[in-house]
Amino acid sequence: MDHPNQGQTSQRKRGRFAPSPTGDMHFGSLYTAVASYLDSTSQGGEWVVRVENLDPPRIVAGSLQNILTALDVHGLQTTEPRVSQSQRLHLYDAALESLQMAGKLFYCTCTRKSLAALDGGYPGTCRTRRDPPEQGHAVRFRLDVDRAFTFTDQVQGRQEYAPGSLSDFIVKRRDGLHAYHLAVVVDDALQQVNSIVRGADLLDSTPLHILLQQALGYPTPEYLHLPVLTRNGQKLSKQHGAPPISLQRPVENLARALELLGQPVPQGGRPNDPAGLLAIAAGNWQRHLLPRETSIELTCS
């Protein structure tokens, strides 16, 4: 019998960075971008950027330009033009349509308040509602998982979700916006991304993504979840006010990212241009050196 990964090994690696323009680029995003970039390009693969701008109220003016400039200043070149989710709504609608035809969706009128006591789980209240109600509603994807669900992450190892721990989730929100879980799955598949490197805060979203891929007939990419960087126990994030990275010190920023990624950092004759440093880092890249925690607390600035 063929080795189950045989098909993948001959495939060119195709990674992506999927920033949300909800604030300026901070160090946690740079570190994720560097890992994804090097993991793909070290093997002659491709690397694409997708702007995740589905949620207009959360967009911060000027932040997309800041993120793109930061990628550029750090030598993180894409292999093709970037795409923006706001231009792809028809693709998400088409996926919803196909899920609908397969009987995988239902209309949910539960409010956040009515579900608040349930700790994020969904008890299946509206599962049988197949026709859109008059009142406000979200659209949920119906999970039919009665066994434990497992997948293997390239860094975090085997992940197991007990029966009943995953629940029907929203694919189209009550306010009419397409949900992240839907868009990310559609985009990764249509962009032919086969290797996803991102923060471990998204580890528990991965079973949902895999189940959606299966329902849509998409292949499942490999997943590699990096430890999230924290300060004072909180993820470095735009929401928690992580400071923007300095665009004046790209080589230092890259060196610090490599160090946190457990990779050798060229010393002494370190090139003073970011692209040169990235080229050396790509030559040295070794997945097995990546840290395996789910978070790393940063001690100094």
Residues forming contacts to ligand GLU in the complex (CB under 6 A) are 18-20, 52, 184, 198, 202
Helices marked H in the chain — which ranges?
6-9, 27-41, 63-73, 89-101, 112-115, 180-190, 206-216, 250-260, 274-284
Which of these, 159, 137, 144, 258, lies nearest to 207 by C-alpha position? 159
Check: CB of residue 123 under 8 Å from CB of residue 140.
no
Minimum CB separation of residue 218 from ligand GLU in Å reads 15
Toward ligand GLU, which CB reaches closer, 149 or 180? 180
Minimum CB separation of residue 125 from Zn ion in Å reads 4
125 contact, one of Zn ion, ligand GLU, none, CB 5-8 Å limit per kind: Zn ion
Check: CB of residue 105 under 8 Å from CB of residue 216.
no
Q: Say how far apart CA 157 and CA 195 lie, in whole Å.
A: 15
Question: Position 69: which residue type?
Answer: T
One residue of 34, 126, 224, 258 binding Zn ion per CB under 5 A: 126
Minimum CB separation of residue 243 from ligand GLU in Å reads 17
Contact status: 202 vs Zn ion (CB under 5 A): no
Q: Say how far apart CA 153 and CA 206 lie, in whole Å.
A: 9
Toward Zn ion, which CB reaches closer, 108 or 257? 108
Minimum CB separation of residue 111 from Zn ion in Å reads 9
Toward ligand GLU, which CB reaches closer, 51 or 278? 51
Question: Position 12: which residue type?
Answer: R
126 contact, one of Zn ion, ligand GLU, none, CB 5-8 Å limit per kind: Zn ion
Per-residue interface string for the shown chain with Zn ion, residues 53-72, x marking contact by CB under 5 A: --------------------
54 contact, one of ligand GLU, Zn ion, none, CB 5-8 Å limit per kind: none
Toward Zn ion, which CB reaches closer, 126 or 139? 126
Check: CB of residue 235 under 8 Å from CB of residue 198.
no
Question: Position 2: which residue type?
Answer: D
The contact set with Zn ion (CB under 5 A) reads 108, 110, 125-126
